[in-house]
Amino acid sequence: MPNQTLVMKFGGTSVGSTEALINAMQIIRDARAEWPRLVVVTSAMAGVTNLLLDSASQAAHGNINSLPEAEKTLREKHFAAADELVQDENPCLETKQEINALILSFVDLCKAIAVLGEASPRALDAVASLGERMSVRLLGAIVENTGIKSEVIEATEFIITNDHFQNAHPVIKVTTEKTRRILKPLLDEGIIPITTGFIGATPDGVITTLGRGGSDYSAAIIGAVLPADDVWIWTDVDGVMTTDPRIVPSARTLPEITYSEIAELAYYGAKVLHPKTIRPVVEAGIGLRICNTFNPSHPGTRLIANAKSNGKPVNGRVVKAVTAIRKQRLITVEGRGMLGVPGVAARAFGAVASTGTSVPLITQASSEQSICFAVPDETAAPVVNALEKAFADELEERDIDRIWKTEDVSIITVVGVGMIHTPGVAGQIFSQLGKNNVNVLAIAQGSSEVSISMVVSAEDTELAVKALHELIVK
């Protein structure tokens, strides 16, 4: 099949050290032998984006004392890898000069932010983009050094987005046209385009980012618009696991998982894939695989279309995975005066939205006397304040008795497409928690029926995950 096209994305840990880069280079070489047309997408080196954004945040508060240290760290991290892995003197020197220019640009941006006393979303995107822009030059030089024909291209050339800085959305029509026009001629010549994940640009050429972890999303967009046959996400785990192995050491890799299951897992805390990655891949009908850079012979996890499972348990298992999102608070709005009054929920969530907070879980008593929802711990206080302002009259009239927040809680989510057609799953889940003395504070089940989410106290998190994971291994 002469048109076979593969898009491979390497995460931060997969390009984060000399050892990792050697592995990545070998993976690219092996893939090149099997796939006539190959595109490589890279993240920033591990820890770099955090360093860049922390420096910008400190600069916004007038503190640039740590800037020389950050500059030194960036230089050492990238230069050490270049010195070790790019043997040819001229390409090595040229790569270091290009990376150094980006580091100096970072210093200038932070100084400008310090002068202004604030970091706008646009300025933060300019800073955050530099990690990928450095790593792509490093990886490009390493691949070129092995004799493989490649070309470094920043994704700002072809992923065109709106100007919603820090969480930009691609304009698919223009992105499709530009991606095909720029990448296809290279692929036709057997050249590997090596490009940046995470970033794009507005139609005017201003750099944007697709949100933290957005390199997966970049790979999915490129794969969908080319279109590619497959997208492989290279990370530091053997694929999607049944749960967090730090909680349950016996957790194992799922050989396959449906699109709807991975969407739930990505949303509810599984860090292995950016939540937005799934949609472009599903809509284009192309394959997606998650693999381990440090264990490349492992088959990883393959995503399969929902229809293939026909809603039945895969491999006889109803429950496929368990996730936990920690550091949440439950907020409750309660009062007898809410009964039958239209618009209370709309006003409540309007107040929440005014704080810029995302709500991962909602539950409402059938009596309509209370609404309960989860928010991240750090947003709980501003959300309660916004609700108290929105319902000031009702609180005074005692139509609403109180608005309150719990201590730290965790959202535990059980995922499995087989749950749809299997009676008694919820009963098994709650019996299992009851047997282990885990108290459930709130419950929510999506209309997709692929997942059930429960809220438990922070101290019960690990116990709940371990107990529910036993339903997978039975």
pLDDT value for 336: 80
The 3-state DSSP class for residue 301 equals strand
Tell which wins on pLDDT, 102 or 237: 102
Nearest to residue 42, comparing CAs of 124, 125, 129, 149?
Answer: 129
pLDDT value for 473: 67
């290009």: which residue's tokens?
Answer: 98
pLDDT value for 311: 46
Query: Does residue 314 have a pLDDT over 80?
Result: no
Confidence of residue 310 (pLDDT cuts 50, 70, 90): very low
pLDDT value for 147: 93
C-alpha R_g of the chain = 24
Confidence of residue 308 (pLDDT cuts 50, 70, 90): very low
Determine the average pLDDT of the residues in 408-432.
86
DSSP string, 338-400: GTT-TTHHHHHHHHHHHTT---SEEEE-TTSSEEEEEEEGGGHHHHHHHHHHHTHHHHHHTSS
Query: Does residue 161 have a pLDDT over 50?
Result: yes
pLDDT value for 93: 97
Residues 240, 15 contacting (CB under 8 angstroms): no
Residues 106, 71 contacting (CB under 8 angstroms): yes
pLDDT value for 343: 81
Tell which wins on pLDDT, 151 or 395: 151
Determine the average pLDDT of the residues in 419-446.
86
Dig out the tokens for 331 from the structure.
């907020």
């302002």: which residue's tokens?
Answer: 389
Omega prior to 227 cis, within 30 of 0: yes
d(CA 255, CA 227): 25
Determine the average pLDDT of the residues in 389-409.
92
Alpha-carbon separation of residue 327 from 302, 331, 400, 403 (angstroms):
30, 13, 27, 19
Confidence of residue 474 (pLDDT cuts 50, 70, 90): low
Tell which wins on pLDDT, 419 or 309: 419
Lowest mean pLDDT among 52-66, 260-274, 426-440: 260-274
d(CA 23, CA 17): 10
Question: Do the bridges between strand 230-235 and strand 361-364 make them parallel or antiparallel, or are there none, so unpaired?
Answer: unpaired
d(CA 273, CA 87): 34
d(CA 337, CA 195): 57
Q: Tell which phi-psi region holds residue 458, choosing left (phi > 0), alpha (psi between -120 and 50) or beta.
A: alpha
φ/ψ of 448, rounded to 5, equals -70, -20
Residues 466, 416 contacting (CB under 8 angstroms): no
Query: Does residue 2 have a pLDDT over 70?
Result: no
Determine the average pLDDT of the residues in 322-338.
90
Query: Does residue 272 have a pLDDT over 80?
Result: no
The CA-to-CA distance between both ends of the chain, in Å, stands at 43
Alpha-carbon separation of residue 260 from 46, 125, 371, 418 (angstroms):
29, 31, 27, 11
Query: Does residue 439 have a pLDDT over 60?
Result: yes
d(CA 373, CA 220): 32
Nearest to residue 255, comparing CAs of 202, 299, 208, 217?
Answer: 299
d(CA 430, CA 436): 10
Dig out the tokens for 190 from the structure.
């057997």
d(CA 340, CA 426): 29
Tell which wins on pLDDT, 315 or 472: 472
For the stretch 78-128, pLDDT in tens is 999 999 999 999 999 999 999 999 999 999 999 999 999 999 999 999 999
pLDDT value for 91: 95
Determine the average pLDDT of the residues in 413-439.
86
Lowest mean pLDDT among 280-284, 349-353, 361-365: 361-365
d(CA 429, CA 111): 54
Lowest mean pLDDT among 173-187, 214-228, 361-375: 361-375
pLDDT value for 69: 97
The 3-state DSSP class for residue 285 equals coil
Confidence of residue 353 (pLDDT cuts 50, 70, 90): very high
Tell which wins on pLDDT, 271 or 69: 69
Query: Does residue 191 have a pLDDT over 70?
Result: yes
Domains of the chain: 5-236 (3.40.1160.10), 330-405 (3.30.2130.10), 409-473 (3.30.2130.10)
Query: Does residue 413 have a pLDDT over 50?
Result: yes
